[in-house]
Amino acid sequence: MNRKTYSMRYTAGQPAERISAPAALLHVGQALSPGEPLPMENTLRVLVWNIFKQQRADWQSVLQSFGRESHLVLLQEAQATPELVQFATANYMTADQVPAFMLPAHPSGVMTLAAAYPVYCCPLLEREPLLRLAKSALITAYPLPDNQTLMVVNIHAVNFSLGIDVYSKQLGPIGDQVIHHKGPVILAGDFNAWSRQRINALYRFAREMGLREVRFTDDNRRKAFGRPLDFVFYRGMKVAEAAVLVTRASDHNPLLVEFSPAKPERN
């Protein structure tokens, strides 16, 4: 694990905090003492969205309309502007971002907004082999009301690469953690699965991890070469509802999924 990789944590009333990569993975190390669980009753509401660095109008209204009602918001290409940080800290307990690359004023990367403090936070970076720009992923874990721990993976996959070696390499460290986690898992984001090789590698990875894909009846996900780029995979829960929200506020449409708890598996 690259100890130089870090995430930035934004919390209301507190200065931004730099969080280093953990010394040990969740399944072999000591997580933080569990705090308050995610405040869900019968459903867990998750919003997944490549927000296109907030370059288009109305991104705030989309987050205001759908983000505030969600327990988790997984953003890709999130630029840590004062407007986004203010929204995150006003509506969520915490927001964790992995800076993938610096724009003129603010870092951009995946950002996970959550209605509870994470007990584990693991930032990951993988560099684009052609452009040498980095893509980020973030693994966080949250206590649930049923005393389980939910692992959440927010990923923006590498895009410009020949073959799938680097693509699979980025998934590797994620798989090392997902495969050992005993509780429910959500893996979601912009997977840039625009080729047959990439989609096959992604589905193979999901099968190996025991993950299921969320299906959308009206599938208005952003596509490239006829293949969707954004996905939500899960384990240890049931899908209650799933929708793609059509908007011009980004070059990707947000995914909104409601999960209901499943009975914990007996080990």
Interatomic CA distance for residues 129 and 237, integer angstroms? 36
Considering the chain, what percentage of its residues have pLDDT values greater than 70? Answer: 92
Interatomic CA distance for residues 249 and 55, integer angstroms? 8
Interatomic CA distance for residues 172 and 168, integer angstroms? 6
User: CA 31 → CA 22, 142, 151, 231, 244, distances in Å?
Assistant: 9, 10, 12, 28, 34
Interatomic CA distance for residues 79 and 250, integer angstroms? 13
The helix (H) or strand (E) run that includes residue 19 is: strand 17-20
The full set of domain ranges for the chain reads 6-24+35-261
Taking the C-alpha atoms of 243, 122, 83 and 41 in order, what is their torsion angle to the nearest 10 degrees? 50
Mean pLDDT in residue range 212-239: 97
pLDDT in tens, 129-149: 766 678 999 999 999 999 999
Mean pLDDT of the residues in the chain: 91
What six digits make up the tokens of 182? 């005993």
In contact, 170 and 158? CB cutoff 8 Å: yes
In contact, 261 and 237? CB cutoff 8 Å: yes
Does 259 have pLDDT greater than 70? yes
> What's this model's pTM, rounded to 2 decimal places?
0.94
In contact, 69 and 245? CB cutoff 8 Å: no
Considering the chain, what percentage of its residues have pLDDT values greater than 90? Answer: 79
Phi, psi of 261 (to 5 degrees): -65, 145
In contact, 44 and 71? CB cutoff 8 Å: yes
Q: Which CATH architecture has domain 6-24+35-261?
A: 4-Layer Sandwich (3.60)
Handedness of CA 84, 52, 103, 130 (dihedral sign): positive
In contact, 59 and 85? CB cutoff 8 Å: no
Mean pLDDT in residue range 229-234: 98
Q: Give bridge partners of residue 6 from the DSSP assignment.
A: 20
- Pairwise pLDDT comparison (102 vs 52), residue with the higher score: 52
Interatomic CA distance for residues 242 and 254, integer angstroms? 11
